[in-house]
């Protein structure tokens, strides 16, 4: 049964909803909550010297809901914590909300400021929903850990980590060991993410969020201790859908170690350094489609050498590459950077994308390298007997396309080379194709799903993410069938 609990900064008697009502402080309201409670935060500034710990779970049909009204601001007043950088902050460190071993909790429309290292810390909890939250600062907006952490939804949230990252901080000042090997970086506390995770099962939906001025956006890792567990035990069924990533200094999307069943679709990437980092990543059934990326700025202060960027970054270890399908189709990218920076990959089907390069002569000086290459000099493709890498039907205007594929016989099919701009106004984010390239295909694209079925595209769809002004219709989400996936791995091995 629903119980309405009113919360104000002082916990006194206030005029709310056309009546004088007794209110509680936030800590007292949460400490005494019960399944089915709707805890409403009235407008005001809430100082949180200590974390808010959720004490009990809700029920499936009676979640515990904490909802802020417009003007309710939770302020941790915490400075950055230099002890936390790209790691689990731990239960003992500060977070505005800590959810440990709980279920069926929902946070709505809450603004959180100066909560370092985390706004929301999650351990071994599931069936959690976070919607319409505004978060400013923090190494992490949301951090999750524990093999029982799953079924987490983050929708329509807004995060700014620090607006000096893109333009005024050298990349190496944030990443440990870059300035001096083995030494900590002075701004290491920024090496976090909007959603960071270690050793979680998965079933994560990140949709409709606005993520900007940060070092990383989504980064999910698996520890060395768990790498020997069966594929799909961690980082499974992750959907990153319809988000906007802007001014991301390192990586918007970074699965690490192993990942199965990742759907990265219909996102916008505006001024992001390396869009997709798959450095030494095993697993597969990754689907990248309907994404759009463009630029009008280059990161870093004067002298920063880590500002080239790429769409894809791969690793070098042969044992940590995909051993299941990796599908990248119908995306549109207006680029100043490499398509692939470095590393090696296999099982990659790169098909029917629109890859448009700017003309550096038309841009402000130093915004783009005059001789920007399509691939980095150390990029490698797996040319084993299965010929598991294919570039097919891509539209690209890079000067070396398609001749660059002469080094990899049997990889390229049906190229669509172009000369001059392929987008109407790439630098403005208008990635609709110009009329000369607005043409569909003769047959449908066939894409393997993680349950053994096959999805087929509309062959009338143009290269890239847009046909006219309409986004490509991609496959519906299909969760991983673990029995099928593990059988495929055994078969491939």
pLDDT above 70: residue 441 = yes
Neighbours of 418 (CB within 10 A): 21
pLDDT at residue 384, rounded to an integer: 47
pLDDT level of residue 395 (50, 70, 90 thresholds): very high
Task: Give residues with Cβ within 8 angstroms of 275, minimum separation 6.
Answer: 251, 252, 253, 269, 291, 293, 310, 311, 312
**Of 492, 478, 457, the residue nearest 262 (C-alpha):** 478
Indicate the SS3 state at residue 202: strand
Provide the sign of the torsion angle of the four alpha carbons 30, 33, 39, 43, taken in this order. negative
Average pLDDT, the chain: 94
| DSSP letter string, 9-67 | SS--EEEETTEEEE-B-HHHHHHT--TTEEEEE-SEEEE-SS-EE--S--BTTB-EEEE
pLDDT at residue 371, rounded to an integer: 93
The angle at the Cα of 464, spanning 459 to 468, to the nearest 5 degrees, equals 80
Domains plus CATH for the chain? Answer: 1-221 (2.160.20.10)
How far are the Cα atoms of 195, 300, 392 from residue 309, in angstroms, in the given order? 21, 11, 24
**Quick check: 160 and 113 in contact, CB under 8 A?**
no
Span 175-196, pLDDT tens digits: 998 888 888 999 999 999 999 9
Provide the sign of the torsion angle of the four alpha carbons 218, 471, 373, 337, taken in this order. negative
Report, in angstroms and rounded to the nearest whole number, the Rg of the chain calculated over CA atoms: 23
Span 261-312, pLDDT tens digits: 999 999 999 999 999 999 889 999 999 999 999 999 999 999 898 999 999 9
The pLDDT of 136-150, averaged and rounded, is 98
Q: How far apart are CA 178 and CA 49, in angstroms?
A: 34
**Quick check: 469 and 452 in contact, CB under 8 A?**
no
327: which 2 tokens? 């599908």
Residue with tokens 């799909």, as numbered in its chain = 232
Span 6-22, pLDDT tens digits: 999 999 999 999 999 99
Long-range CB contacts for residues 29-35, cutoff 8 Å, separation at least 24: 29/5, 30/54, 30/55, 30/66, 31/55, 33/5, 33/64, 34/3, 34/64, 35/59, 35/62, 35/63, 35/64, 35/104
**Quick check: 397 and 420 in contact, CB under 8 A?**
yes
Indicate the SS3 state at residue 222: coil
413 alpha-carbon distance from chain centroid: 30
pLDDT at residue 258, rounded to an integer: 93
**DSSP, res 484:** H
| DSSP letter string, 124-157 | S-EEEEEES-EEE--SEEEEEESTT-EEEEEES-
Indicate the SS3 state at residue 490: helix
How far are the Cα atoms of 50, 75, 142, 149, 195 from residue 83, in angstroms, in the given order? 18, 21, 17, 24, 19
pLDDT at residue 206, rounded to an integer: 98
| DSSP letter string, 265-318 | ES-EEEEESEEEEETT-EEEEEEEES-EEE-S---SSTT------EEEEE---T
* Exposure b/e, 393-404, CB count within 10 A at least 16 = b: bbbbbbeebbee
Indicate the SS3 state at residue 419: coil
pLDDT level of residue 378 (50, 70, 90 thresholds): confident
pLDDT above 70: residue 382 = no
Span 408-424, pLDDT tens digits: 888 999 999 999 999 99
**129, exposed or middle or buried, with CB in 10 Å at 0-12, 13-18, 19+?**
middle
371 alpha-carbon distance from chain centroid: 30
pTM: 0.96
């Amino acid at each position: 049964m629903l119980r309405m609990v009113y919360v104000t900064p002082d916990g006194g008697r206030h005029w709310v909803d056309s009546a004088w009502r007794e209110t509680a402080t936030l800590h007292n309201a949460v400490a005494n909550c019960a399944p089915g409670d709707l805890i409403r935060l009235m407008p005001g500034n809430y100082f949180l010297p200590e974390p808010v710990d959720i004490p009990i779970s809700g029920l499936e049909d009676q979640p515990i809901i904490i909802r802020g009204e417009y003007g309710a601001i939770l302020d941790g007043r915490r400075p950055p914590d230099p002890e936390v950088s790209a790691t689990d902050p731990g239960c003992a460190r500060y977070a505005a909300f800590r959810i440990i071993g709980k279920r069926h909790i929902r946070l709505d429309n809450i603004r959180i400021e100066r909560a370092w290292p985390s706004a929301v810390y999650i351990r071994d909890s599931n069936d959690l929903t976070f919607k319409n939250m505004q978060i400013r600062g923090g190494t992490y907006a949301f951090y999750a850990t524990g093999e029982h952490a799953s079924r987490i939804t983050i929708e329509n949230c807004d995060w700014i980590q620090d607006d000096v990252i893109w333009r005024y901080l050298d990349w190496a000042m944030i990443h440990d060991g870059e300035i001096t090997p083995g030494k900590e970086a002075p701004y290491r506390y920024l090496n976090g993410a909007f959603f960071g995770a270690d050793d979680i099962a998965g079933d994560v939906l990140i949709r409709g969020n606005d993520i900007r001025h940060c070092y990383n956006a989504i980064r999910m890792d698996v520890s060395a201790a768990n790498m020997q567990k069966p594929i799909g035990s961690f980082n499974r069924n992750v959907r990153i859908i319809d988000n906007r990533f802007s001014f991301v200094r390192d990586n918007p999307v970074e699965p690490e170690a192993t990942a199965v069943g990742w759907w990265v679709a219909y996102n916008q990437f505006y001024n992001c350094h390396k869009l997709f980092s798959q450095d030494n990543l095993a697993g597969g059934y990754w689907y990248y489609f309907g994404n759009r990326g463009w630029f009008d700025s280059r990161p870093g202060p004067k002298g920063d050498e880590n500002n080239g960027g790429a769409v894809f970054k791969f690793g070098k270890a042969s044992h940590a590459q995909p051993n299941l399908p990796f599908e990248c189709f119908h995306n549109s990218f207006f680029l100043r950077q490499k398509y692939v920076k470095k590393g090696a990959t296999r099982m990659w089907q790169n098909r029917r994308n629109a890859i448009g390069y700017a003309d550096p002569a038309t841009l402000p000086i130093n915004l783009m390298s005059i001789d920007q290459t399509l691939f980095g000099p150390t990029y490698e493709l797996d040319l084993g007997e299965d010929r598991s890498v294919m570039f097919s039907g891509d539209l690209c205007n890079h000067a070396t396309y398609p001749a660059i594929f002469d080094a990899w016989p049997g990889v390229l099919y049906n190229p669509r080379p172009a000369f001059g701009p392929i987008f109407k106004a790439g630098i403005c984010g208008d990635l609709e194709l110009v009329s000369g390239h607005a043409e569909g295909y003769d047959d449908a694209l066939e894409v393997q799903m993680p349950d053994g079925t096959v999805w087929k595209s509309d062959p009338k769809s143009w290269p890239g993410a847009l046909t006219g002004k309409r986004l490509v219709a991609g496959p519906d989400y299909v969760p991983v069938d673990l029995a099928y996936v593990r059988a495929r791995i055994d078969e491939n091995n």
